Structure 1
Amino acid sequence: LVALGFTLAACAALAWWLMGVAAAGVRFDWGGQTYELLQPTWLVVFAVTPLFALAVTRSLADLPAAQRWLGVLVRAALTALLTLAVARLARTTDATRVSTVFLVDVSESVPDPALDDARETVRAAWDARGESDVQLVTFARDAHAVPLGAEDDPVPELPRFEEADAGRGSDLQTALQLAYGLFPPGHLRRVVLLSDGNQTSGDVLAEASRARDFGVRVHVRPMRQGAPPEVAVRELVLPDRIEVGEPFPVRARVFASVPAAARLRLYQGETLNGLDSVRDVELEPGETEIEFRSIVRVAGPVTYRLTAEPKARVEGEPVPNRFAENDEFETTVVVPGKPTVLYVEGMEGRATYLARALSAADFDVDVRGPRAIPTSMRELERFDFFVLSDVSAEQVSLGQLDLIERYVRDVGGGFLFAGGENGYGLGGWQGTRMEQILPVRMDAERRRDQPSLALALVIDRSGSMNGQKIELAKDAAKATAELLSSDDYLEVIGFDSQPERIVRMQSAANRVRILRDISRLAARGGTAIFPALDAAYQDLAVTRARLKHV
């Protein structure tokens, strides 16, 4: 206990002394270099080393004394290294030379006089550099280092970027990142940013915080020469609701950086707006609102486009049109009209009565046959309502079924399914996606006079059918199996150089087994069609059914 007490007292005394040393700061010279501890408080960790000596004196290990005390020294050395690591031992230098990188914004939003001033700023720094270092980076969307120190002109003119659209943006973050690699060693790092501050990409604030961590001091010198002379069409504002045949206002908002004149043209579609199309206006600095009048004669999407032709107020002054791409603005509005109905009737001649009733109720009706069912969402979404009347499942493709489902579920279109001789179960809709769309079941019994069917599917499974082709063939066979009723018969023969009965002739009611067997179909081998057709004929010849198909 006495030894433990003395050891703890030694630890406490050492910790007290180390805390005093840390409070005064630790800085020393060695080998011509200056070192210091950035966090000297962690020196107190070294105070545990007296415990290593106590552990040796109390150890029961049968080792020579020299080896045990060597272990104490190794542990103390490792503790010292760990202490120096957490105390952040660092080498410090007193730099007197400064490296300054000028970042100059040469994007199109910076006027030429501002670039001339920036060049003079860089030239003054170059002339006064002495033993320090001065470098130059120009930037817009990208950043490039510009060599300095030529004999004829140490600071060249600041060129704008010649690449297409390269000057239509400012990425200050990219320019600052490029500057990190330009600083020579042994210099204080400085960055001078000359820009109008119109950042279009990047995050210069986050990069400035990172620069501080790298020991780079960032100075900002705003370009205050003002924006270049410019006229820009900012917006076209139309009413929230427009009625067919009713006049309404179209408000244009035009910005000018200097006093200017402009000729404005308003287009409706591809032609000039009928009521009010051309205006010659005087623009003051800031935003000006000009009101046009317009009228829409036909319902549907209508596109309005306003173009501005800037002019100088005083003859001889430059035309305020630095950026031609902002001289026009386009917007589209949908003008509601009569509700539109797509009426697809499966039996020709029966559409008259419903179409006449819908027209009398102020609906715009488009009557079509099953072959004219839309095949794209762009065509189908033009209609507010879709009526599908007395159309069988075989007249609607899987793609059109998917389109109808998305039209109802995603677009929110109205849908009416009407039965008849070709509707519901009689039309083969049982088990199809249509049954999932509608809140009804289509498992009604077929008419008694409908004949049973024996169907043989002969599918090419040769090597040329490998990949997507064989998968499409299997999907078609499965869709056929799901469409048949329990009164029908089905056989599937796959052929390459020899035919194979993948599904033997059996009742279509065995759907689960049939679908599983069809999935086994795989592409391989050559091609011999006739033996497969002959096998299908032989099987159908002995099958009792009113209708037989291959």
Structure 2
Amino acid sequence: MGIEFKYPLLLLLLLPAFFVVFLYLKNGNSFKKGEARIISAIRITVFTLLILALSIPQLYLPIKGERVVFLVDRSASVTGTEAESLAWIEESVKHKGAKDEFAIASFAENIVLDQNLGNQSESLTEFNGAINETETNMESGLQFASSLIPQNSSGRIVAFTDGNETIGNSTEAAKLLKNRGIELDYVQVNSKVGEDMALSDLKVSPSLYEGEEASVSLSVNSNINQTAQIRLFLNNKEILQQKIDVKEGKNEYAFSYEALGSGLQVLKAEIESEGDTFIENNALQAITNIKGKPKVLIVQSDESDHLQKALQSSDLEMNTVMPEKMPTNLSGYLQYQSIIFNNVQATGITEKQMELIEQAVREFGVGFMMAGGEESFGLGGYFKTPIEKLLPVEMEIKGKEEMPSLGLMIVLDRSGSMDGQKLELAKEAAARSVELLREEDTLGFIAFDDRPWVIVETGPLKDKEDAVEKILSVTPGGGTEIFTSLEKAYSELEDLKLQRKHIILLTDGQSSGGGDYDAIIENGKEKNITLSTVAIGQDADRALLEDLAEQGSGRYYDVTDASVIPSILSRETVMATRTYIEDNPFYPLVQNDPEWSSLFKDGIPQMNAYIAVTAKPRAKIPLLSEKEDPILAQWQYGIGRTIAFTSDFSGKWSGDWARWNKWSDFINQLVTATLPQYDSEPFRVSVSKGSEQTTVNLESLTNQSLPIETTVLTEDGGEVKTNAKLVAPGKYEVMVPEKEGMYFLSIKQANEHGEMINYQTGFAIPYSDEYLLEGTNHDLLGELASITTGKKLDKEADAFRPLQQKAFSQQDFSIVLVAFAFLLYFVEIAIRRFGLPSFLRKRQQAYATEESNGVNAHKVIQTNPSAQYKTTESNIKVVKEKTANKKKAVKKQKIRENPITDEEREERMRRLLEAKKRRS
């Protein structure tokens, strides 16, 4: 037991407190000197109590019993040892004392509390918390275990682990345990991993030439001798398959393949063997940049080859795909130098694919071109999509007052099955459609479940914001009944005097009731009303919806990915007007642009049609229509270059251009203008994996230390937050989170001449070290135990052995001191107000008299030293005189303290006279 002050320096305040009380006592009234002494004693006591309270005194009381936290490693490297650890804990608990307490926690990448701290007599029989076994974070585990032990109290942590941490720094955690007086013991856990092979390294040159024989080296770690199979994939296409004989330990292999194509290519290696324990360590990835012919991806819906024929004379490698076959990851686009959308509608392309293309253009310099046609630009449904964002033109037509009047009814299913993403995207799509309409247009919006609900009353669109707000407020409801709602939509439009009337029906279910659809659609045709339908998901009544669209002279859309709904509605809204197509033959106007003017020095052919769009402010417009609409527009988007050609490549719209002798030259120049312009090898890139982060090391081959900008994207297009820092002349570091996968890196740097250098590459972060075949890390475990004066445990009973540093509980008793100080303070106030109590006053007066006599005697002795020998004979006389003097002093003191007034004196005299008369 002991006392400790939290703020001991405050005790120095006692010095000025004593000094102030001394001054009070010295200058006090001598007549009340005894009272002053008592008040001084009280004050110094109050000051002392308050100063002690301010310094926060804490009483340390010994705690009986030990506190032990069992911390169990449940990561992949010790898979199968959980039962063994629990059995060890159960046996250990049998040896604990009555006052001993214990807790059980488990860890891997995360931590789970399995049994709270207490003096229970039994331990749990199985772990009940979910754990992420892909990493071992001993640091977090130790920190959590220490938090279970009360602050300012010692204890013990018993760790069951193999010591192979993959993230965190357990040494730092052990130092904190030492500061708290917590011991760390460990029980060695031996991995029960069976037969396993692991790919530990994959190397390929970061830069290759097309046609080059590329060398690939592989490292395989194995704990058995066995035959395995190696597969190599290039951009997910298998290029090699071979059987190999693997020996126990580390094995090195070399393979080769012919580098074909161009651009960034992802190489993946896989190993397969029988009885393999971990599949997580069976694959690795690397990236290489193949230099050769520019590679172009052509996306088109039909099988026409007009564009391919026009590009035959160019030195381009072309790959043509349908929209449904487009890549779904970022690497699928980075292998191309340019992407061409040839009359492709947005309804066949998911929002995610559009986002990947936008990122490939903006961050990696891939070119992009969109050509016109009946299914392109605004007619294709690209309004407010990522594709519109990267193009130099906007899909919406501005300033076109001569457009025909339009009445649009949207009928949206709000049944319970639409709840979630489907309903949210459908509402967003309807809101986009509102933005495409003019204030003169008519809009109506009906949401239905088992009955129609009018959300926006059919009428001129005077307040777009109000209409959008109402649409976005729709919530899911009950069942599905289509006919009544569709009938109401037709009745709302049939009597309106409009040039275009169109209904869009969206549903994901089947109608609970029937109705005469043929009658309302036929009647609608007579009133110039058209109908398009959208089937969402697998449960929609496709047959009914397709039939309704066919009868209603509209379009049917079968949606499997809800993200295309906004594109469908914007396409339908644009198609309803049919005014985006300018189909009067004309001669384009050539602007004064040296890049393009040379093609038209001998004249310019006639063009039949184009899609009307609006140029963005920074766009360059080499070709204009007679109405000053863009025919050809281009600009820089990020580090990529994009072009919009609003006519087509088939000849239907381009007219005489398709028969022009420079037609192929024109198309080749269009594609060439989109190709990336960047230096191929300005940096050397290497990757080093840390405990929690991966470091991408960049070394400038020109040894320049100018600032750089870096962008890191994941395989699915997600951007990783990171910054590049200069660590040495010409050397940079980019820190990225420790997460397995393929990453793409874009580097931008302005050289000393102000020219922008762009470089694109990639890197792979391999699987967690948790899946490496390693034994117990005895060195780390021994170091952790020695830091905290712990040890390796071999006997279960040792877990509850006495701690080297006893545990104490802290009791703060500042409030008690403050309470006594206030009590004494009130006592002092009472004394100063009412004086000392009578018994204290008598004693004080007696002490004062004795002191006075003592002082007088002392003076006599000082003046006549021989007098001290004469006191023997007169001791009795002195005592009597002192007693008499004392009585007189008390009597005089009473008179002084209680003087008699005139009234009291008269009253006493009256009583004496009465008493005398009674005696007479």
TM-score past 0.5 threshold: yes
How far apart are residue 282 of structure 1 and its match? 3.4
The aligned residue for residue 534 of structure 1 is 495
Aligned-pair CA distance for 1:534: 1.1
Question: Which residue matches 1:475?
Answer: 432
CA distance in 1, matches of 2:384, 2:125: 71
- Select the residue among 103, 128, 141 that pairs with 1:174: 141
* Corresponding residue for residue 238 of structure 1: 204
- 1:239 partner amino acid: S
- Show CA shifts across 1:428-476 (max 9, x none): 9999998975668999999xxx995422224359997998766643531
Q: Given residue 385 of structure 1, which amino acid in structure 2 is its aligned partner? A: S
Aligned counterpart, 2:460? 502
Q: 1:360 maps to what in 2?
A: 313
Contact 1:106 1:138 in 2 (8 A): no
Given candidates 323, 338, 349, the residue that maps to 1:385 is: 338
| Kept after mapping to 1: 8 A contact 2:361/2:367 | yes
CA distance in structure 1 between the partners assigned to 2:210 and 2:225 by the alignment:
34
User: Does structure 1 residue 303 correspond to structure 2 residue 264?
Assistant: no
Which amino acid in structure 2 is aligned with residue 535 of structure 1?
L
CA spacing shift, 1:381–1:160, aligned 2, 3 Å:
same
In the alignment, structure 2 segments of 5+ residues that lack a partner are 26-35, 416-422, 446-453, 475-484, 502-526, 528-575, 580-920
Q: Are the aligned partners of 2:71 and 2:107 in contact in 1 as well (CA < 8 Å)?
A: no
* Alpha-carbon distance in 1 for matches of 2:159, 2:492: 83
1:515-543 superposed Cα distances (whole Å, 9 cap, x missing partner): 6786687799x9464253312249999xx
Residue identity in the other structure for 1:291 = A
> In the aligned structure 1, how far is the partner of 2:401 from the partner of 2:92?
101
Return the TM-score normalized by structure 1: 0.55
Change (3 A) 1:403 1:119: closer
The RMSD of aligned alpha carbons is 6.8
Distance 1:179 1:244 in 2: 59
Distance 1:494 1:521 in 2: 11
Does 1:408 find its partner at 2:374?
A: no
CA distance in 1, matches of 2:73, 2:350: 58
Cα separation, partners in 2 of 1:498 and 1:268, compared to 1, 3 Å: closer
Greater relative CO (CA pairs within 8 A, separation 6+): 2
Alignment of 1:102-501 (within 5 A): 109=77, 139=106, 141=108, 170=136, 172=138, 173-174=140-141, 177-178=144-145, 181=148, 189-191=155-157, 193=159, 195-200=161-166, 204-212=170-178, 214-216=180-182, 218-220=183-185, 223=188, 232-242=198-208, 246-255=212-221, 260-269=224-233, 274=240, 277-284=242-249, 287-295=250-258, 302-307=267-272, 323-325=277-279, 328-331=282-285, 333=287, 336=290, 338-343=293-298, 352=306, 355-366=308-319, 383-387=336-340, 408-416=361-369, 437=390, 452-459=402-409, 472-481=429-438, 490-494=440-444, 501=459
Cα distance in 2 between the residues matched to 1:120 and 1:89: 42
2: CA distance between counterparts of 1:111 and 1:431? 51
After TM superposition, give the deviation of residue 278 of structure 1 in Å: 2.1
Structure 2 distance, partners of 1:76, 1:536, is 100
Amino acid at match of 1:90: Q
Match of 1:90 in 2: 58
Provide the C-alpha distance between the structure 2 equivalents of 1:480 and 1:454, rounded to a whole number of angstroms.
11
Distance in 1 separating the partners of 2:577 and 2:285: 59
The verdict on how the C-alpha distance between 1:341 and 1:85 changes in structure 2, with shifts beyond 3 A counting, is same
Call closer, same or farther: CA 1:209–1:358 in 2, change over 3 Å: same
CA distance in 1: counterparts of 2:89 and 2:79, whole angstroms? 16
Cα distance between partner residues in 1 of 2:336 and 2:63: 76
Instruction: Give the Cα–Cα distance (whole angstroms) in 2 for the partners of residues 461 and 117 of structure 1.
Output: 62
Instruction: Go from structure 1 to structure 2 and tell me whether the alpha carbon gap of 1:198 and 1:96 turns closer, same or farther (over 3 Å shift).
Output: same
- Cα 1:181/1:335, change in 2 over 3 Å: closer
Check the 8 A contact 1:429/1:435 in 2, yes or no: yes
- 8 Å Cα contact 1:106/1:159 also seen in 2: no
- Aligned partners of 2:405 and 2:500 also within 8 Å: no
Counterpart-to-counterpart distance in 1, 2:167 and 2:131 = 14
| Paired residue total | 455
1:459-511: per-residue Cα shift (whole Å, max 9, x none)?
35999799876664353143244xxxxxxx943254859975425xxxxxxxx
CA deviation map 1:281-317 (0-9, x unaligned): 4345xx442333445677765532123569xxxxxxx
* CA deviation after TM superposition for structure 1 residue 215, in Å: 3.8
Aligned 8 A contact 1:458 1:536 in 2: no
How many Å separate the matches in 1 of 2:105 and 2:13?
A: 51
Change (3 A) 1:518 1:228: closer
CA contact (8 A) 2:222 2:246 kept: no
Counterpart residue identity of residue 436, structure 2: A
Q: Aligned partners of 1:137 and 1:442: how far apart in 2?
A: 63
Aligned-partner SS, 1:535: coil
Q: 2: distance between equivalents of 1:521 and 1:118?
A: 59
Q: Percent identity?
A: 18
Q: Distance in 2 between matches of 1:431 and 1:112?
A: 53
- Is the partner of 2:441 in helix, strand or coil? strand
Could you tell me whether the CA contact under 8 Å between 1:502 and 1:521 is conserved in 2? no
- Do the aligned partners of 1:249 and 1:292 also contact (CA within 8 Å) in 2? yes
3-state SS of 2:409 partner:
strand
CA contact (8 A) 2:104 2:113 kept: yes
SS at match of 1:361: coil
Tell me the residue number matched to 1:49: 17
SS at match of 1:49: helix
Q: Contact (CA 8 Å) 2:70, 2:103: kept in 1 or not?
A: yes
Change in CA separation of 1:72 and 1:171 when aligned onto 2, cut-off 3 Å: farther
Distance 1:365 1:105, change over 3 A: closer
State the partner residue of 2:886.
none
Mapped partners of 1:186, 1:403: distance in 2: 54
Q: How far apart, in 2, do the equivalents of 1:44 and 1:86 lie?
A: 11
Contact kept? 2:200, 2:221, Cα under 8 Å: yes
Provide closer, same or farther for how the CA distance between residues 455 and 121 of structure 1 changes in structure 2, counting only shifts above 3 A.
closer
Change (3 A) 1:520 1:461: farther
Consecutive unaligned residues of structure 1, counting only runs of 5 or more, are: 1-32, 58-67, 311-320, 482-488, 504-512, 542-546
Opposite residue 460 of structure 2, the aligned amino acid is I
Shift of 1:406: 5.1
Cα distance, 1:533–1:46 mapped onto 2, change above 3 Å? farther
After superposition, what is the alpha-carbon deviation per residue over 1:67-112, rounded to whole angstroms, capped at 9, x for unaligned?
x999999986664344224534222346797666665767664699
CA separation of 1:182 and 1:339: change in aligned 2, threshold 3 A: same
Q: TM-score, normalised by structure 2?
A: 0.36
Distance 1:46 1:479 in 2: 81
Question: In structure 1, how many angstroms separate the alpha carbons of the residues matched to 2:57 and 2:187?
Answer: 40
